[in-house]
Amino acid sequence: MSRPGPPSRTTAVRPLPGEALPAGQRRFLIRGQLRRPLALTVADLRERWPQRRAEVVFDCATNGPQHHTFAGPLLREVIDAAGPAFDARRRKDRSRYLLAVTGGDGHHAVLSWAELDADFGDAPVLLATAMDGRALDAAGSQLVVPSDRCGARYVSALTGIWFGTCAPPEAVPEPSSGDLVDSS
């Protein structure tokens, strides 16, 4: 079965019914409060977005210090292509959004959109397509947070990214003098 025409730069390549992905490719989903949810492979990330490099050092709890060079697109640019459901002109609206990233081993991490947004943290977080010069097509993309000193948010073999807001916390009533605990 063949596809009609080449895919555009901002839409996902989705197999037609009954069509499998090429061998050695993993797909992950980007969903949530987005206008255009995406299903992407490492090849999609490599072909559709500019590749950035990040030389990183982070501490792994099980393997000690890790030194790697990653390449891949900025997470911010990939999410932008999915059409975040916020009003981009309103900074306070953008600052309420979160990303929950899940890996193939069940490991997950949370980032705030403000960390990535150029008006706030402008962090160059990557969706890696290569590590130390080796393509990650078979292993799956990896979340890379270059500013982190520990590797807890380096999520491997991505299976999904959820983007959206969580409900604001309920108002906490003022404590009465009887509710206060003396810590002295």
Average pLDDT of every residue of the chain:
84
Q: How confident is the model at residue 174 (pLDDT cuts 50, 70, 90)?
A: confident
- Could you tell me if 15 and 1 are in contact, meaning their C-beta atoms sit under 8 angstroms apart? no
Report residue 73 CA to chain centroid gap. Answer: 11
For the stretch 107-125, pLDDT in tens is 999 999 999 999 999 999 9
Enter the DSSP assignment of 27.
Answer: E
Whole-prediction pTM: 0.79
Amino acid 184: pLDDT: 60
Residues 6 or more apart whose CB falls under 8 angstroms from that of 21 comprise 15, 27, 41
- Distance, CA of 32 to CA of 158 (rounded, Å): 16
Residue 88 structure tokens: 């981009």
12 vs 90: which has the higher pLDDT: 90
pLDDT over 70 (residue 178): no
